[in-house]
Amino acid sequence: MKTSDFDYDLPESFIAQTPVEPRDSSRLLVLHRDTGQIEHRIFRQVGKYLRKGDLLVLNETRVIPARIYARKETGGRVELLLLRCEDELTWICLVGGKGLRVGIKLILETSSLTNSNKASNQDTKKASNQDTNESFETGSFKIQAEIIEALEGSERRIRFNVPVEPFFSQVGNVPLPPYIHEKLSDPERYQTVYAREPGSAAAPTAGLHFTPPLIKELQEQGVRIAYVTLHVGLDTFAPVMENNPREHKIHTEWCELSQATADIINETRDSGGRVIAVGTTSVRTLETAGSDKRDAIRPYIGPTSLFILPGYQFNVVDAMLTNFHLPKSTLIMLVSAFAQREQILETYEIAKRAGYRFFSFGDAMLIL
């Protein structure tokens, strides 16, 4: 197996820059794995391929405004991309800028933070207990940070002088994927309509096609809905650089499958229904929880570094909804494990000829 086996040519014109309106008016390519048959639909017609007793599993993670701009004490501008919260003050970040070594202190760029719009007196008390520079100067509240550890590549461990999450509305920006160059007028369009659990650096984009009326219609049809959480990291955009994909180190992400969701999955399987994962993040969560190959799925909470490549035997997922993925990415490798690699690449070529839109704001694919 070579990483180049998962490459394909994609002119930039195929990369969707903006989402369609309404959400469920995107296109849907349906691939039947057993026969190779392909059908072209509109996403709101997805119910035609679902049966009473089937279960849709949705990832309810919510994208945080994780891109933050700051300045070093010497004046140089820095970009921070928050990846993972370790405690209320400490984050693992990707950093952009020069000379970002241990001990460097940063002041976040804010939109007029003052004493009167602090998150709470509790936050102020926490700030005053930290060993930092003065947080209040001439009536202006400063959020500060210090690089406390250099990690791999451009990753750094950073400690803030106050919990930064309450101030996201003043300092944070939604981190759109690097291939999207158009400004997003409504940041909520990069959230699913059911996003509830903050923590992702990127959206679980297969879920962006759903609307509340469509979800209600599917439930009235007898399709059940269950939720998992996987906080998406930036590895979702990273191409595999090693020639042998088995040598690629996939980023660890945090996920949770509750007891309630485990119960619904087990009931669905016992009654002959299908478990249909919405997005590769739901796939990874389900398969992580089912990795012990027991007859019954058990709840799971914790990290996952599951890397699904062709040859993997799926234990939980019977069908999946997904978007069209980047060449040589871990995501196209995952869908190539669910269907045949040659079948996926041939389907992508058909999608290109039919004018489908690719990547995060693009069209959807149902693999049965």
Average pLDDT, the chain: 89
3-class state of residue 339 by DSSP = coil
Determine the pLDDT at residue 122.
Answer: 39
Domain finish residue from 155, 173, 191: 173
Determine the pLDDT at residue 74.
Answer: 82
The CATH number linked to 125 is 2.40.10.240
Structural domain includes residue 231: yes
Structural domain includes residue 178: no
Is residue 204 within 8 A of residue 225, CB to CB? The reply is no
* Residue keyed to tokens 């520079």: 133
Same domain, 218 and 356: yes
Taking the CA atoms of 173, 176, 181 and 184 in sequence, report the sign of the dihedral they define: negative
Percent of the chain with pLDDT over 90: 74
Question: Average of pLDDT values for 84-98?
Answer: 90
Would the pLDDT of 180 be above 50? yes
State how far the Cα of 358 lies from the Cα of 12, in Å rounded to an integer.
10
Would the pLDDT of 112 be above 70? no
Question: Average of pLDDT values for 53-67?
Answer: 95
Residue 250 gets which letter from DSSP? P
Bridge partners (DSSP) of residue 157 are 92, 149
Interacting residues of 125 by C-beta distance below 8 A, sequence separation 6+: none
Determine the pLDDT at residue 363.
Answer: 98
Q: Which amino acid is at 298?
A: R
Number of Cβ within a 10 Å radius of residue 146: 18
Structural domain includes residue 42: yes
Domain finish residue from 173, 205, 225: 173
Determine the pLDDT at residue 80.
Answer: 93
Tokens coding 325: 């993925």
Determine the pLDDT at residue 185.
Answer: 87
Using 50, 70 and 90 to split pLDDT, how confident is the model at 173? confident
Same domain, 216 and 363: yes
Using 50, 70 and 90 to split pLDDT, how confident is the model at 128? very low
Question: Average of pLDDT values for 25-54?
Answer: 98
Same domain, 44 and 71: no
Taking the CA atoms of 102, 105, 111 and 116 in sequence, report the sign of the dihedral they define: positive
Same domain, 262 and 233: yes
Number of structural domains the chain divides into: 2
Q: DSSP string of 54-70?
A: -EEEEE-EEE---EEEE
Is residue 358 within 8 A of residue 324, CB to CB? The reply is yes
Would the pLDDT of 121 be above 60? no
Would the pLDDT of 133 be above 70? no
Structural domain includes residue 223: yes
Would the pLDDT of 135 be above 80? no
Question: Average of pLDDT values for 302-316?
Answer: 95
Question: Average of pLDDT values for 113-139?
Answer: 37
Tens of pLDDT, residue by residue over 279-306, are 999 999 999 999 888 889 999 999 999 9
Taking the CA atoms of 184, 190, 193 and 198 in sequence, report the sign of the dihedral they define: negative
The CATH number linked to 205 is 3.40.1780.10
Using 50, 70 and 90 to split pLDDT, how confident is the model at 235? low
Using 50, 70 and 90 to split pLDDT, how confident is the model at 130? very low
Same domain, 134 and 246: no
State how far the Cα of 271 lies from the Cα of 265, in Å rounded to an integer.
10
Question: Average of pLDDT values for 169-183?
Answer: 88
Same domain, 201 and 348: yes
Q: DSSP string of 104-156?
A: -EEEE--S--BGGG-S-HHHHHHHHTSSSS-SEETTEE--EEEEEEE-STTEE
Using 50, 70 and 90 to split pLDDT, how confident is the model at 98? confident
How big is the chain by its Cα radius of gyration, in Å? 22
Determine the pLDDT at residue 140.
Answer: 55
Tens of pLDDT, residue by residue over 153-164, are 888 999 999 999
Q: Residue 345, class by beta-carbon neighbours within 10 Å (0-12 exposed, 13-18 middle, 19+ buried)?
A: middle
State how far the Cα of 294 lies from the Cα of 233, in Å rounded to an integer.
28
* Residue keyed to tokens 């639909």: 41
Determine the pLDDT at residue 120.
Answer: 35
Q: Which helix (H) or strand (E) holds 233?
A: none
Bridge partners (DSSP) of residue 229 are 256
Domain that holds residue 232: 3-63+183-367
Same domain, 188 and 308: yes
Determine the pLDDT at residue 237.
Answer: 67
Domain finish residue from 122, 143, 173: 173
pTM of the full structure? 0.85
Determine the pLDDT at residue 295.
Answer: 85
State how far the Cα of 322 lies from the Cα of 363, in Å rounded to an integer.
9
Q: DSSP string of 9-40?
A: ---GGGB--S--SSGGGSEEEEE-TTT--EEE
State how far the Cα of 25 lies from the Cα of 331, in Å rounded to an integer.
24
Residue with the bigger pLDDT between 173 and 44: it is 44
State how far the Cα of 127 lies from the Cα of 160, in Å rounded to an integer.
9
Interacting residues of 6 by C-beta distance below 8 A, sequence separation 6+: 240, 245, 327, 328, 329, 332, 333, 336, 341, 345
Same domain, 295 and 212: yes
Using 50, 70 and 90 to split pLDDT, how confident is the model at 139? very low
Structural domain includes residue 87: yes
Same domain, 234 and 349: yes
Same domain, 88 and 192: no
Residue with the bigger pLDDT between 147 and 238: it is 147
Interacting residues of 330 by C-beta distance below 8 A, sequence separation 6+: 235, 236, 238, 240, 245, 248, 250, 307
* Residue keyed to tokens 């026969």: 35
Same domain, 203 and 99: no
Same domain, 361 and 229: yes
